[in-house]
Amino acid sequence: MTIIFDNPVDPEAFEAAYPDLLDRARKVPGVVHREASKVWPKEDGSPTPAYRMIDLYFPDYDAASAAVGTPEMQAFLPRAFELATGGARAVFADVEES
C-alpha cells in the first residue's frame, strides 16, 4: 500500500505533523516492511509531481486488505488524508520486482 501525498498547502505544518503520522504507520499490524520518502526537488524549480510517500508492505493482498479494518489502520489512514491538504491517494500494488 502506498500513500502518495501531493504538495501540501503549508509544507511546514505538514512536516510538523508528519512524525506522528509515521508513528501511526509503524503500529499497523501485518506490515513486513515500511518506507517513507520525500520527493526530490526538480532541477528547474517547478513544483514536484508529489511531496512524500509512505509505503506499507504486506505479505499479500489478503493481509493488506485485513489490515485496512484494524483500529491501527483506522488511526493512520484518516489522519493521512486529513494532513494531505494538497491531496493524496492510496494505492494497493503487487511488487513484481525489487
**Statement: residue 97 has pLDDT above 90:** no
Cα end-to-end span (Å), the chain: 15
pLDDT at 47: 87
pLDDT at 19: 98
pLDDT at 65: 95
Mean local confidence (pLDDT), 77-83:
96
Per-residue pLDDT tens digits for 12-71: 999 999 999 999 999 999 999 999 999 999 899 888 999 999 999 999 999 999 999 999
pLDDT at 45: 87
| 4: its cell numbers | 502518495
Phi, psi of 45 (to 5 degrees): 85, 0
User: 97 vs 89, which has greater pLDDT?
Assistant: 89
| 82: its cell numbers | 486529513
Whether 96 contacts 9, CB under 8 Å: no
- Find where cell 511531496 sits: 51
* Count of CA atoms in the C-beta half-sphere (13 A) of 54: 23
